[in-house]
Amino acid sequence: MPKITIAGIPGVDGDYLLDLDEAFTGHELHTIKQLSGVRVGEIGDAMAAGDYDLIIALTKIALDRAGRDVSADTLLSAKVGAITFGPTEAEQEAAQEEAELPPVSAPSGRDETNSAKQTSGIGSSNGSDSHPENDPTGTGVQVLLTGSGSSPNTSETSRSAS
């Protein structure tokens, strides 16, 4: 969940969380396209590239969701750097902890090929490795952020399992 920090825009200075697990509405996707020119399948690439107009659009959406009525023109008129977009402190700490963990290795004498098939779902009884709790199609946000426009069900593993 990205944190948007605004400093230097009177009346809206502060931190705002943008819950990307909550599906965008059609109006929000229109706002993104209108303000940034970014299409749904391009959101992930534009975010990775640091597209400033997309940051403005996402800031507008976060402010709207928080009940703050601020025009996009007001956000665009702010000095560059007045709006920052990044992970929350908890996400930063989790990434730091993960980076500090030693790599996981399989115990010796174990059949790693068979183990990998069992954990990936390739050898499962229904022949599918799709798990509803991991399927981003419910909200579409994870698919939007990857920029791939496809769900995990179209992965090479799923196709070979059919």
Section 13-36 average pLDDT: 93
DSSP calls for 42-95: GHHHHHHHT-HHHHHHHHHHHHHHTT----HHHHHHSPTTSEEEEE-HHHHHHH
Comparing 63 with 158, the larger pLDDT belongs to: 63
What is the dihedral sign for C-alpha 41, 44, 45, 50? positive
Q: What's the predicted TM-score (pTM) here?
A: 0.58
pLDDT of residue 59: 96
Give me the pLDDT at residue 32, please: 96
CA pair distance 119, 31, nearest whole angstrom: 41
Report which of residues 96 and 15 the model is more confident about. Answer: 15
- Per-residue pLDDT at 86: 78
- Which of 1-10, 70-79, 102-111 reaches the highest mean pLDDT? 70-79
For 48-63, what is each residue's pLDDT tens digit? 898 999 999 999 999 9
154 versus 52: the higher-pLDDT residue is 52
Q: What is the average per-residue pLDDT within 96-104? A: 70
- Enter the tokens of residue 83: 């709006």
The whole-number average pLDDT for the span 28-37 is: 96
Chain mean pLDDT for the chain: 73
